[in-house]
Structure 1
């Protein structure tokens, strides 16, 4: 496969979206080849009518093509993950193995970071273990989450094939649709493998890109990538390791003790992916011009795969999911930044410069963000990170640690995007007791049920002291 990105470009009138959209465009979509053209220039369902003999010829050509592709393993879903893992590992074959020294350094840094974090937040340690990962370890441990994030996108694209065929052609196209779906799974698997291979060699921790990619309760740092990242920063690598360990531990505390957070973050990505809607007009037009016999020529296939014939339309549901995700990521990253800054204090002289370096690394995107945009189709960026950090800082100063961390007790208590722009009203509501209603959700539920029982008893004319139980 060519290394054209899988990412979708979204047609969005929001200038902020356009300004930051650097992901691949529909013109570079490897799924963007049309399949409807038939030999002799007659499109399926077009003026020339549907020709079963031509379809059979196409199936034969596709079968010959598949027999020489040599795909590893069987594909059971919309993405060929066996192929993805194989291609990713090929990129990591030269990575240096972990040493006992690097493992011990990670363990010591994590232990120190946890001690420093204890007085900076009310959340206790959230990681059951802290480990050193190689790039290959990162690939293996995060792949289950990538499957969860990528499958909704691939399923939408896979459904394109049957949606665009006319009813008459659909009766004859069962085997061909299966082949096309398999081709799609291989194309996505190829892009996934290339992207994850690059990302695995660059990420510093399991939570660096904002998502909880690794197993719950496992904090992980990648010493090889951290050593490369440390070059040119003019700070000791040990100091950088402790700072990154503190950030990883802070993320783990938040995800471990805010039980709804992991689902909210990953669910927002899934909602975005499931909202993809295709404009099939370009496919229908291409169906009249593409000769399916070209599929037997690998160079022609590469050309078709790289041209692209459709772009997804950004729906209101996607915009809402994206705004929800961006705000949530900003709140998470802003909270982590404030907590880690308070935890390390003056212990790490270069902490301020490190925080700014990591903030810019996220804000400017870079390979990690572009990889995610390629795989899932959206820019993963906490656009209001500075505003979120300023809000958490003000809330910490004016209301204290307990009130600040209690805001995480229920998703409805979190500040919204507008609050990040104008935080004064939100901070006043917290200081004034705005979070008390959800301080104990179970107690609130019991109180609500008690009121409902009392109301039913009154409606039934029951004057007894104890209302009937549900």
Structure 2
């Protein structure tokens, strides 16, 4: 052994002692037993910084040793979402910013009292930073993608199970890490290969959810922008940082923009709180659609054939590359998707119509603000596209303009009470045909009432005769 080789091995021994206290000789022995030359691992360059390598290994250990309680690693999702949320800055809110936001939400409730029969949600009003939005809404996103993550984990186990069973001693291949480091040297030798794969899949989905939620935190204005109830209970929120950024390029002053967004937020909250079946209806449709997704195993196998199964980020990129979900949805899925898109459009259309009615008497720029938000909502953003790849659907109401026209027509015919009565029962909810022909909705609804009444009368007569 040359002087340089001995020096390299001494450095490596010191590094291993920092990484695995008291186990450096054991790791070196394993390397030699596998035919590795410890003195050659560093080549001509210096060994990696122990602190950086320790941090990397600690992260991998955390990913693989966490059993978790579901198909999404919520710890990974949380940590990454917080990192992404602050990547472009997330300044703490000043007292003035927080007060302006909560005051706007309070004023919005007063304006809405004159525009809808639904009372205020009754929950607290929040002024949130981006990080606070992540904390409040991330549990909902984790639940949203869980059905798909579960299906994907099963598919990955099918595609990659044999590969892992053939090579349980998975090399971690971390940048700068000695090649002898494996599951055994990380204290994870007893981990079943299928269990390892599911944990890696959960970590990969956690990365996807965290990236999307963190990105959304830089785009949203409150807790209801995506049209789904993300909070566990009543309440409203505004993100002053995002509101101010949105208002910078507009002709309308910041206070008008803030108030209009507050009206929309409060209108959503009223609907989700006082029409309780809407929450269950929307989330139930999302889950029903997601659980019906079929995984194209051939496509998935092609995507992950050359993927390092020990690298969660590589798995994440492979799973988000497109082509994983079945190209042709089932008939049941198509029907569910249509119902979901219609429901999202109706929520957005009602909020759009009610918000405009509430704001028009008070805000000079209400009309252009309404149009700006319509276009923004229809266009979506990168985070929504990420969730589309995760859940297999886009959380955008494609037909919100048609829905708004329908609610405007119902208002003209029956006033505020008639318009809001559309939400009295799920059976009264307009369908795609009604969005195609809003003016005929009331006539069709009345005809259905007559038909139901006649059926009930005929059934009562039949039962009477039978008795």
- TM-score bracket, shorter-length normalisation: 0.7 to 0.9
TM-score where L is the length of structure 2:
0.73
Contact 1:162 1:170 in 2 (8 A): no
**Structure 1 residues 329 and 307: CA distance shift in structure 2, 3 A:** closer
**Do residues 254 (structure 1) and 271 (structure 2) align?**
yes
Counterpart selection for 2:282 from 243, 265, 273: 265
State the Cα distance separating 1:232 from its structure 2 match: 0.9
Which residue number in structure 1 is paired with residue 439 of structure 2? 424
Which residue number in structure 2 is paired with residue 378 of structure 1? 393
Q: Residues of 2 paired with 1:101 and 1:201: CA distance?
A: 21
Which residue number in structure 1 is paired with residue 128 of structure 2? 133
Contact 1:71 1:83 in 2 (8 A): no
Render the CA deviation track for 1:180-217: whole Å, top value 9, x for unaligned: 11111111111111111111121111001111112321
Which residue number in structure 1 is paired with residue 69 of structure 2? 76
Contact 1:89 1:136 in 2 (8 A): yes
**Do residues 316 (structure 1) and 331 (structure 2) align?**
yes
Render the CA deviation track for 1:212-249: whole Å, top value 9, x for unaligned: 11232111111111111111111111111111111111
**Do residues 235 (structure 1) and 252 (structure 2) align?**
yes
Q: Which runs of 5+ in 1 are unaligned?
A: 1-64, 439-443, 461-470
**Do residues 340 (structure 1) and 355 (structure 2) align?**
yes
Counterpart selection for 1:326 from 322, 337, 341: 341
Q: What does residue range 49-64 of structure 1 map to in structure 2 within 5 Å?
A: none
**Structure 1 residues 252 and 435: CA distance shift in structure 2, 3 A:** farther
Which residue number in structure 2 is paired with residue 209 of structure 1? 226
**Do residues 90 (structure 1) and 104 (structure 2) align?**
no
Which residue number in structure 1 is paired with residue 5 of structure 2? none
Q: Residues of 1 paired with 2:322 and 2:359: CA distance?
A: 50
Q: Residues of 2 paired with 1:334 and 1:301: CA distance?
A: 39
Q: Residues of 1 paired with 2:440 and 2:316: CA distance?
A: 56
Larger radius of gyration: 2
Which residue number in structure 1 is paired with residue 95 of structure 2? 100
Counterpart selection for 1:223 from 228, 240, 245: 240
Bigger shift: residues 312-321 or 391-400: 312-321
**Structure 1 residues 345 and 87: CA distance shift in structure 2, 3 A:** same
Q: Residues of 2 paired with 1:207 and 1:302: CA distance?
A: 28
Which residue number in structure 1 is paired with residue 9 of structure 2? none
State the Cα distance separating 1:137 from its structure 2 match: 1.1
**Do residues 121 (structure 1) and 116 (structure 2) align?**
yes
Render the CA deviation track for 1:77-113: whole Å, top value 9, x for unaligned: 2111111111121223431011211111112111111
Which residue number in structure 1 is paired with residue 27 of structure 2? none
Which residue number in structure 1 is paired with residue 192 of structure 2? 175
Counterpart selection for 2:378 from 339, 360, 363: 363
Q: Residues of 2 paired with 1:213 and 1:122: CA distance?
A: 23
Q: What does residue range 9-24 of structure 1 map to in structure 2 within 5 Å?
A: none
State the Cα distance separating 1:309 from its structure 2 match: 7.6
State the Cα distance separating 1:377 from its structure 2 match: 2.4
Q: Residues of 2 paired with 1:121 and 1:199: CA distance?
A: 29
**Structure 1 residues 283 and 368: CA distance shift in structure 2, 3 A:** closer
**Structure 1 residues 109 and 436: CA distance shift in structure 2, 3 A:** farther
Which residue number in structure 2 is paired with residue 15 of structure 1? none
Counterpart selection for 2:295 from 268, 273, 278: 278
Contact 2:207 2:316 in 1 (8 A): no
Which residue number in structure 1 is paired with residue 409 of structure 2? 394
Contact 1:283 1:309 in 2 (8 A): yes
Which residue number in structure 1 is paired with residue 262 of structure 2? 245
Q: Residues of 1 paired with 2:108 and 2:440: CA distance?
A: 34
Q: Residues of 2 paired with 1:210 and 1:245: CA distance?
A: 15
Q: Residues of 1 paired with 2:413 and 2:462: CA distance?
A: 40
State the Cα distance separating 1:414 from its structure 2 match: 1.1
State the Cα distance separating 1:427 from its structure 2 match: 2.1
Higher relative contact order (CA 8 A, sep 6+): 1
TM-score where L is the length of structure 1:
0.73
State the Cα distance separating 1:162 from its structure 2 match: 4.1
State the Cα distance separating 1:70 from its structure 2 match: 3.9
